[in-house]
A = this chain, B = another copy of it.
């Protein structure tokens, strides 16, 4: 692969001039410009980003740390980010932790060594060690979905969403409402959504039977199992069940259908996530659109802001949500 030196030699100018030509900085006469253009055309020369980055300390790369890339949520997030970042000439370097905390730490270092211009962190459970690492990070960093002190955040309104959904059930006359959650170590999905549900129940003075509180692990099967547990172990069967993700809700619906419960007459169901199929299920699933793409975009905008303007002001952005009331309630 050709280098700037060879181009310079071939065009009979100094590499300084070639550099000026490439970056449109400083004066280059029309004559010389044409010569360089021609040589570059002929050789198909492409400047090395690495050499460039070494000097300029700019890589035009944003590191994105994800807990997984298999979910719709993740793809949407990345799609949103990419839309904004690509427009400014940035690319995404992927770091997939597979929910492994050590990897999270490892990747922070790796991204640092690759001198990414910024890091977007979509973490699910935030360890102290990680927070610590981030706080002493010089690279701009934005977190999505979990509140982390000291850096900018794009947040979902998990607590109020949970309250809103529970409240929706209550407004429809339900008093016995079940809950399918996930591990509370996941602050946003596990803890806050549960708290929202519990608080809303308490506000209406509705008791919550322990058997109504089940946990899944983010997939359809565990939603099925959770629903099974609810229906088969509770004294009083609930007439509505709130699942903290669409997948869990889908699993729950599957159980209900298999056991000839009518949705929503016997048991109403709601999820969170607005997955693509949610609208096309039978009945269509009531859910909440978190606007992940928007979250991705906002995070990208925040990070670019920080990079460009040296705008170190920390921003906490809480996104709005859209409750999609559909056939399942």
Contact = CB atoms under 8 A, between A and B. Distances in A.
Interface of A: 1, 44, 46-51, 53-54, 59, 61, 68-72, 74-76, 78-79, 82, 86, 91-96, 109-110, 112-115, 136, 138, 220, 247, 250-251, 254, 257, 276-277, 279-280, 282
A119 to B, nearest CB: 13
6 closest Cβ pairs, A-B complex: A92-B94, A46-B113, A49-B114, A50-B53, A50-B54, A82-B96
Nearest to A68: B79
Nearest to A82: B96
B59 A50 contact: yes
A109 B89 CA distance: 13
Nearest to A257: B282
B113 A61 contact: no
A115 B50 CA distance: 8
Contact of A94 (B1, B50, B82, B247): B82
Contacts of A247: 276
Contacts of A138: 1
Given A49-B115, A247-B276, 19 more contacts: A46-B109, A46-B112, A46-B113, A49-B114, A50-B53, A50-B114, A69-B78, A70-B75, A78-B94, A82-B96, A86-B96, A91-B93, A91-B110, A93-B94, A94-B94, A220-B280, A250-B277, A251-B280, A277-B277
Nearest to A247: B276
8 contacts: A46-B112, A48-B54, A50-B54, A50-B115, A70-B79, A72-B72, A91-B94, A91-B110
Contact of A115 (B48, B61, B114): B48
Contacts of A49: 113-115
Interface centre among A93, A109, A279 (most CB of B within 10 A): A93
